[in-house]
Amino acid sequence: MRLLIAGWQGQVARALVEAAPGCPDVTACAVGRAALDICEAKSIERALAGISPTVVINSAAYTAVDKAETDVERAFALNRDGARLLAEAAAKRGIPMIHISSDYVFDGRKYDPYVEEDATSPTTVFGRSKLEGEEAVRAANPRHIILRTSWVFSPGGRNFVKTMLAQASESARVRVVDDQRGSPTYAPHLVTVILELARRLSKPNAVAPWGIYHAANSGTTTWRGFAEEVFKRSAALGGPVAEVDPISSKDYPTPAARPANSQLDCSKLERTFRMRMPSWQDGVADCVLRILRG
Protein backbone atom coordinates (compact mmCIF):
# COMPACT_ATOMS: atom_id res chain seq x y z
CA MET A 1 0.00 0.00 0.00
CA ARG A 2 1.48 3.29 -1.13
CA LEU A 3 0.08 6.46 0.41
CA LEU A 4 0.46 9.96 -0.96
CA ILE A 5 -0.08 12.31 1.97
CA ALA A 6 -0.66 15.94 1.10
CA GLY A 7 0.20 18.48 3.78
CA TRP A 8 3.27 17.02 5.43
CA GLN A 9 3.67 19.76 8.05
CA GLY A 10 0.30 19.17 9.73
CA GLN A 11 -0.25 17.14 12.87
CA VAL A 12 -2.12 14.35 11.07
CA ALA A 13 0.47 14.03 8.30
CA ARG A 14 3.31 13.94 10.83
CA ALA A 15 1.53 11.24 12.80
CA LEU A 16 0.98 9.23 9.61
CA VAL A 17 4.66 9.38 8.71
CA GLU A 18 5.60 8.42 12.26
CA ALA A 19 3.24 5.43 12.27
CA ALA A 20 4.12 4.09 8.82
CA PRO A 21 7.44 2.41 9.73
CA GLY A 22 5.55 0.19 12.16
CA CYS A 23 3.31 -1.04 9.34
CA PRO A 24 5.27 -3.33 6.99
CA ASP A 25 2.54 -3.13 4.36
CA VAL A 26 2.65 0.68 4.16
CA THR A 27 4.86 3.06 2.23
CA ALA A 28 3.93 6.61 3.23
CA CYS A 29 5.04 9.52 1.10
CA ALA A 30 4.23 12.82 2.80
CA VAL A 31 4.74 15.62 0.33
CA GLY A 32 5.05 19.29 1.14
CA ARG A 33 4.35 22.29 -1.05
CA ALA A 34 7.79 22.28 -2.65
CA ALA A 35 7.02 18.94 -4.31
CA LEU A 36 3.23 19.04 -4.25
CA ASP A 37 1.21 22.22 -4.44
CA ILE A 38 -2.41 21.06 -4.37
CA CYS A 39 -3.43 24.40 -5.85
CA GLU A 40 -1.51 23.57 -9.06
CA ALA A 41 -2.82 20.79 -11.32
CA LYS A 42 0.58 20.14 -12.93
CA SER A 43 2.23 19.78 -9.53
CA ILE A 44 -0.41 17.22 -8.52
CA GLU A 45 0.08 15.25 -11.72
CA ARG A 46 3.84 15.10 -11.21
CA ALA A 47 3.43 13.85 -7.65
CA LEU A 48 0.91 11.18 -8.62
CA ALA A 49 3.08 10.00 -11.51
CA GLY A 50 6.18 9.86 -9.34
CA ILE A 51 4.63 8.10 -6.35
CA SER A 52 1.90 5.97 -7.98
CA PRO A 53 -0.14 5.81 -4.78
CA THR A 54 -2.89 3.32 -4.08
CA VAL A 55 -4.62 5.84 -1.79
CA VAL A 56 -4.40 9.63 -1.59
CA ILE A 57 -4.78 11.24 1.84
CA ASN A 58 -5.48 14.96 1.89
CA SER A 59 -4.50 16.48 5.20
CA ALA A 60 -3.35 19.73 3.58
CA ALA A 61 -5.40 22.64 4.86
CA TYR A 62 -5.42 26.28 5.77
CA THR A 63 -5.98 25.90 9.51
CA ALA A 64 -5.33 29.41 10.85
CA VAL A 65 -8.96 29.87 11.88
CA ASP A 66 -8.67 33.49 12.98
CA LYS A 67 -6.38 34.61 10.16
CA ALA A 68 -8.77 33.09 7.63
CA GLU A 69 -11.33 35.78 8.46
CA THR A 70 -9.17 38.28 6.56
CA ASP A 71 -7.18 35.89 4.36
CA VAL A 72 -10.32 34.60 2.67
CA GLU A 73 -8.93 34.00 -0.80
CA ARG A 74 -6.05 31.86 0.44
CA ALA A 75 -8.26 29.84 2.79
CA PHE A 76 -10.65 28.91 -0.04
CA ALA A 77 -7.80 28.32 -2.48
CA LEU A 78 -6.32 25.64 -0.25
CA ASN A 79 -9.36 24.18 1.53
CA ARG A 80 -11.75 24.14 -1.43
CA ASP A 81 -9.95 24.58 -4.74
CA GLY A 82 -6.88 22.56 -3.82
CA ALA A 83 -9.03 19.74 -2.45
CA ARG A 84 -11.01 19.71 -5.70
CA LEU A 85 -7.91 19.57 -7.91
CA LEU A 86 -6.42 16.73 -5.86
CA ALA A 87 -9.69 14.79 -5.93
CA GLU A 88 -10.07 15.27 -9.69
CA ALA A 89 -6.53 14.08 -10.38
CA ALA A 90 -6.97 11.03 -8.14
CA ALA A 91 -10.30 10.20 -9.80
CA LYS A 92 -8.72 10.25 -13.27
CA ARG A 93 -6.34 7.53 -12.11
CA GLY A 94 -9.02 5.57 -10.26
CA ILE A 95 -7.37 6.31 -6.90
CA PRO A 96 -9.55 6.53 -3.77
CA MET A 97 -9.12 9.54 -1.52
CA ILE A 98 -9.37 10.12 2.21
CA HIS A 99 -10.04 13.79 2.92
CA ILE A 100 -9.73 15.33 6.39
CA SER A 101 -12.43 17.84 7.33
CA SER A 102 -13.63 19.61 10.46
CA ASP A 103 -16.42 20.09 12.97
CA TYR A 104 -16.41 23.76 11.91
CA VAL A 105 -18.80 22.84 9.08
CA PHE A 106 -21.49 23.02 11.80
CA ASP A 107 -22.64 26.16 13.59
CA GLY A 108 -22.26 24.65 17.08
CA ARG A 109 -25.81 25.45 18.18
CA LYS A 110 -26.98 21.87 18.55
CA TYR A 111 -27.04 20.49 22.10
CA ASP A 112 -26.17 16.85 21.33
CA PRO A 113 -23.16 15.53 19.40
CA TYR A 114 -23.39 16.07 15.67
CA VAL A 115 -24.11 13.16 13.33
CA GLU A 116 -23.13 13.09 9.68
CA GLU A 117 -26.68 13.80 8.49
CA ASP A 118 -27.07 17.01 10.51
CA ALA A 119 -27.48 20.20 8.51
CA THR A 120 -24.25 22.09 7.97
CA SER A 121 -24.14 25.80 8.67
CA PRO A 122 -20.61 27.13 9.16
CA THR A 123 -20.24 30.55 10.73
CA THR A 124 -16.57 31.22 9.94
CA VAL A 125 -14.49 31.56 6.79
CA PHE A 126 -12.52 28.48 7.80
CA GLY A 127 -15.73 26.49 8.29
CA ARG A 128 -17.20 27.61 4.97
CA SER A 129 -14.00 26.78 3.13
CA LYS A 130 -13.87 23.31 4.69
CA LEU A 131 -17.52 22.64 3.83
CA GLU A 132 -17.02 23.71 0.23
CA GLY A 133 -13.93 21.52 0.18
CA GLU A 134 -16.05 18.54 1.23
CA GLU A 135 -18.55 19.31 -1.52
CA ALA A 136 -15.77 19.65 -4.09
CA VAL A 137 -14.24 16.28 -3.15
CA ARG A 138 -17.62 14.56 -3.27
CA ALA A 139 -18.34 15.97 -6.73
CA ALA A 140 -14.88 15.26 -8.15
CA ASN A 141 -14.14 11.75 -6.90
CA PRO A 142 -16.92 9.25 -6.13
CA ARG A 143 -14.38 7.00 -4.37
CA HIS A 144 -13.93 9.17 -1.30
CA ILE A 145 -14.00 8.96 2.47
CA ILE A 146 -14.36 12.32 4.20
CA LEU A 147 -13.37 12.25 7.87
CA ARG A 148 -14.58 15.12 10.03
CA THR A 149 -12.61 15.49 13.21
CA SER A 150 -12.20 18.06 15.99
CA TRP A 151 -9.80 19.56 18.54
CA VAL A 152 -6.74 17.74 17.16
CA PHE A 153 -3.65 17.54 19.37
CA SER A 154 -0.33 15.70 19.24
CA PRO A 155 3.21 15.78 20.65
CA GLY A 156 4.32 17.90 17.68
CA GLY A 157 3.13 21.11 16.11
CA ARG A 158 1.04 23.85 17.69
CA ASN A 159 -1.91 22.63 19.72
CA PHE A 160 -3.80 23.05 22.98
CA VAL A 161 -1.84 20.51 25.03
CA LYS A 162 1.51 22.10 24.23
CA THR A 163 0.09 25.56 24.86
CA MET A 164 -1.21 24.58 28.30
CA LEU A 165 2.08 23.01 29.34
CA ALA A 166 3.99 26.06 28.13
CA GLN A 167 1.71 28.44 30.03
CA ALA A 168 1.96 26.33 33.18
CA SER A 169 5.74 26.65 32.99
CA GLU A 170 5.36 30.42 33.26
CA SER A 171 2.30 30.93 35.46
CA ALA A 172 0.58 29.23 38.40
CA ARG A 173 -2.87 29.98 36.97
CA VAL A 174 -4.37 29.84 33.48
CA ARG A 175 -7.72 31.11 32.20
CA VAL A 176 -9.55 28.61 29.98
CA VAL A 177 -12.94 28.73 28.24
CA ASP A 178 -15.52 26.50 29.87
CA ASP A 179 -18.63 27.00 27.70
CA GLN A 180 -17.43 25.24 24.54
CA ARG A 181 -17.69 21.45 24.40
CA GLY A 182 -15.94 19.11 22.00
CA SER A 183 -14.27 15.82 21.26
CA PRO A 184 -10.47 16.17 21.68
CA THR A 185 -8.76 14.03 19.08
CA TYR A 186 -5.25 12.62 19.44
CA ALA A 187 -3.59 12.60 16.03
CA PRO A 188 -1.91 9.17 16.45
CA HIS A 189 -5.30 7.64 17.33
CA LEU A 190 -6.89 9.26 14.27
CA VAL A 191 -4.05 7.93 12.14
CA THR A 192 -4.83 4.36 13.23
CA VAL A 193 -8.30 4.81 11.73
CA ILE A 194 -6.93 6.42 8.58
CA LEU A 195 -4.42 3.62 7.97
CA GLU A 196 -7.03 0.91 8.45
CA LEU A 197 -9.40 2.68 6.07
CA ALA A 198 -6.58 3.04 3.55
CA ARG A 199 -5.87 -0.68 3.75
CA ARG A 200 -9.47 -1.48 2.91
CA LEU A 201 -9.62 1.05 0.10
CA SER A 202 -6.36 -0.11 -1.47
CA LYS A 203 -7.55 -3.65 -2.07
CA PRO A 204 -8.14 -4.46 -5.75
CA ASN A 205 -11.71 -3.63 -6.80
CA ALA A 206 -12.48 -2.35 -3.31
CA VAL A 207 -16.08 -1.27 -2.92
CA ALA A 208 -16.34 0.70 0.30
CA PRO A 209 -19.27 2.52 1.88
CA TRP A 210 -18.03 5.84 0.52
CA GLY A 211 -19.09 9.10 2.09
CA ILE A 212 -18.72 11.23 5.21
CA TYR A 213 -17.76 9.89 8.63
CA HIS A 214 -17.03 11.50 11.97
CA ALA A 215 -13.78 10.39 13.60
CA ALA A 216 -12.83 11.69 17.03
CA ASN A 217 -11.70 10.22 20.31
CA SER A 218 -14.45 8.82 22.53
CA GLY A 219 -16.01 11.13 25.10
CA THR A 220 -16.39 14.89 25.27
CA THR A 221 -15.29 17.73 27.52
CA THR A 222 -14.86 21.49 27.64
CA TRP A 223 -11.59 23.32 27.07
CA ARG A 224 -11.39 23.72 30.84
CA GLY A 225 -11.83 19.98 31.36
CA PHE A 226 -9.25 19.36 28.66
CA ALA A 227 -6.76 21.62 30.43
CA GLU A 228 -7.38 20.01 33.81
CA GLU A 229 -6.72 16.57 32.32
CA VAL A 230 -3.47 17.83 30.81
CA PHE A 231 -2.30 19.11 34.20
CA LYS A 232 -3.44 15.95 35.96
CA ARG A 233 -1.29 13.85 33.64
CA SER A 234 1.59 16.31 33.85
CA ALA A 235 1.51 16.35 37.66
CA ALA A 236 1.79 12.56 37.75
CA LEU A 237 4.97 12.83 35.70
CA GLY A 238 6.48 15.73 37.61
CA GLY A 239 5.73 18.19 34.83
CA PRO A 240 4.35 21.75 34.92
CA VAL A 241 0.97 22.29 36.56
CA ALA A 242 -1.36 25.27 36.89
CA GLU A 243 -4.72 26.03 38.46
CA VAL A 244 -7.45 26.48 35.87
CA ASP A 245 -9.77 29.48 36.13
CA PRO A 246 -12.91 28.89 34.02
CA ILE A 247 -14.05 31.74 31.78
CA SER A 248 -16.77 32.19 29.17
CA SER A 249 -16.27 32.65 25.44
CA LYS A 250 -17.12 36.33 25.73
CA ASP A 251 -14.16 36.72 28.09
CA TYR A 252 -11.85 35.37 25.40
CA PRO A 253 -12.96 37.03 22.14
CA THR A 254 -11.42 35.84 18.87
CA PRO A 255 -11.79 37.11 15.29
CA ALA A 256 -13.50 33.83 14.35
CA ALA A 257 -16.19 32.68 16.78
CA ARG A 258 -15.64 29.15 18.07
CA PRO A 259 -18.56 26.68 18.00
CA ALA A 260 -20.18 26.20 21.39
CA ASN A 261 -20.66 22.55 20.47
CA SER A 262 -17.96 20.66 18.55
CA GLN A 263 -19.01 17.21 19.75
CA LEU A 264 -19.01 14.56 17.03
CA ASP A 265 -21.03 11.35 17.14
CA CYS A 266 -18.79 8.64 15.67
CA SER A 267 -21.23 5.74 15.79
CA LYS A 268 -21.50 5.58 11.98
CA LEU A 269 -17.77 4.84 11.75
CA GLU A 270 -18.13 2.13 14.37
CA ARG A 271 -21.20 0.57 12.70
CA THR A 272 -19.72 0.60 9.23
CA PHE A 273 -16.07 -0.22 9.80
CA ARG A 274 -16.07 -1.67 13.33
CA MET A 275 -13.65 1.01 14.47
CA ARG A 276 -13.91 2.94 17.72
CA MET A 277 -11.25 5.36 18.85
CA PRO A 278 -9.93 5.32 22.44
CA SER A 279 -11.00 7.87 25.03
CA TRP A 280 -9.65 11.38 24.70
CA GLN A 281 -8.13 10.98 28.18
CA ASP A 282 -5.99 8.12 26.87
CA GLY A 283 -4.80 10.40 24.13
CA VAL A 284 -3.89 13.14 26.60
CA ALA A 285 -1.97 10.68 28.77
CA ASP A 286 0.20 9.50 25.88
CA CYS A 287 0.64 12.99 24.46
CA VAL A 288 1.77 14.55 27.75
CA LEU A 289 4.14 11.65 28.40
CA ARG A 290 5.78 12.06 25.00
CA ILE A 291 6.08 15.84 25.32
CA LEU A 292 7.62 15.72 28.77
CA ARG A 293 10.05 13.00 27.82
CA GLY A 294 11.12 15.04 24.83
Tell me the domain boundaries of the chain: 2-158+184-219+262-279
Q: What was the pLDDT predicted at 8?
A: 78
Q: What was the pLDDT predicted at 1?
A: 87
For the chain, the C-alpha Rg in angstroms (whole number) is: 19
Q: What was the pLDDT predicted at 28?
A: 81
Instruction: Please give the C-alpha separations between residue 169 and each of 231, 232, 263, in angstroms, as whole numbers.
Output: 11, 14, 30
* Contact partners, residue 34, CB within 8 Å, separation at least 6: none
pTM, entire model: 0.95
CATH of 2-158+184-219+262-279, one of 3.40.1440.10, 3.40.50.2300, 3.40.50.720, 1.20.120.1200: 3.40.50.720
Whole-angstrom distance, CA of residue 31 vs CA of residue 10: 11
Q: What was the pLDDT predicted at 38?
A: 94
Q: What was the pLDDT predicted at 57?
A: 96
Q: What residue spans of 37-186 are helical by DSSP H?
A: 41-51, 72-76, 83-92, 125-140, 160-168
Does residue 205 sit in helix, strand or coil? coil
Whole-angstrom distance, CA of residue 213 vs CA of residue 170: 40
How many C-alpha atoms does 268 have within 13 Å on its Cβ side?
19
| Residue 111: count of CB within 10 angstroms of its CB | 8
Q: What was the pLDDT predicted at 121?
A: 96
Q: In tens digits, what is the pLDDT along the chain, a chain of 294 residues?
A: 899 999 878 899 899 989 988 888 888 887 777 778 999 999 999 999 999 999 999 999 999 999 999 999 999 999 999 999 999 999 999 999 999 999 999 999 999 999 999 999 999 999 999 999 999 999 999 999 999 999 999 998 889 999 999 999 999 999 999 999 999 999 999 999 999 999 988 877 777 799 999 999 999 999 999 999 999 999 999 999 999 999 999 999 999 999 999 999 999 999 999 999 999 999 999 999 999 998
